[in-house]
Amino acid sequence: AGALTFGALSLAAAAGLYMRSRARRRPRKAGDKVVLVTGGTGLVGKGIQAYLKDNAAAGETWIFLGSKDGDLRDMEQTKAIFERHRPTHVIHLAAFVGGLFNNLAHNVEFFRYNMLMDDNVMECCRIFKVEKLVSCLSTCIFPDKTTYPIDETMLHNGPPHNSNQGYAYAKRMIDVMNRCYRQEYGCKFTAIIPCNVYGPHDNF
């Protein structure tokens, strides 16, 4: 249930190893998979959609959510999304993000908003008996003072850079809660840490 480190070009393919298909609604059959992608209209979500165009599989439905589909900081709205789609698998990409100066000025909001989203998604995955949850972390969560090369075992060896500590600590908590949910409830929650992410649909 620990975090796994992946390069940028393999991120969409890595997600595809867990689940595949297209985002369209159809009657559910026994054994079908419904994959819910939060933050599905962003850079990585669009990358997964592009990957799936040539890698669709039968018996699976992909649903890509954007902010217009509900506020994941609100538990009732999050529950309504899960109730509506009844996912068997979830890829959690949604996050409250911003540039350097926005992080510096709003560390509290970056921590609180991301913690709320992550907590609601994880708890709904437990409540609705999701088979597997895969969350996306960030390299900014690694310790500011470290040695190289780095890997996921070094994630909690020191504080992150103070310029984005609110965001970084919230993302670190995903790794912590993945292990807690597995230990207490047996949930299959994990996370990937892309080394770098860039490409079409990036927001500069």
Beta-strand relationship, 3-6 and 132-136: unpaired
Residue among 86, 30, 79 nearest 63 (CA): 86
Tokens of 109: 């909001």
Identity (one letter) of the amino acid at 194?
P
DSSP character at residue 133? E
Q: Has 169 been annotated as catalytic?
A: no
Tokens of 145: 């003072």
Residue among 150, 156, 188, 149 nearest 172 (CA): 156
Q: Are 144 and 85 in contact (CB under 8 A)?
A: no
Count CB-CB contacts under 10 A for residue 180.
Answer: 15
Active-site option among 18, 113, 167, 181? 167
My answer on whether omega of the bond before 27 falls inside 30° of 0, hence cis, is: no
Residue among 197, 178, 199 nearest 188 (CA): 178
Residue among 131, 124, 149 nearest 139 (CA): 149
Catalytic center residues: 167
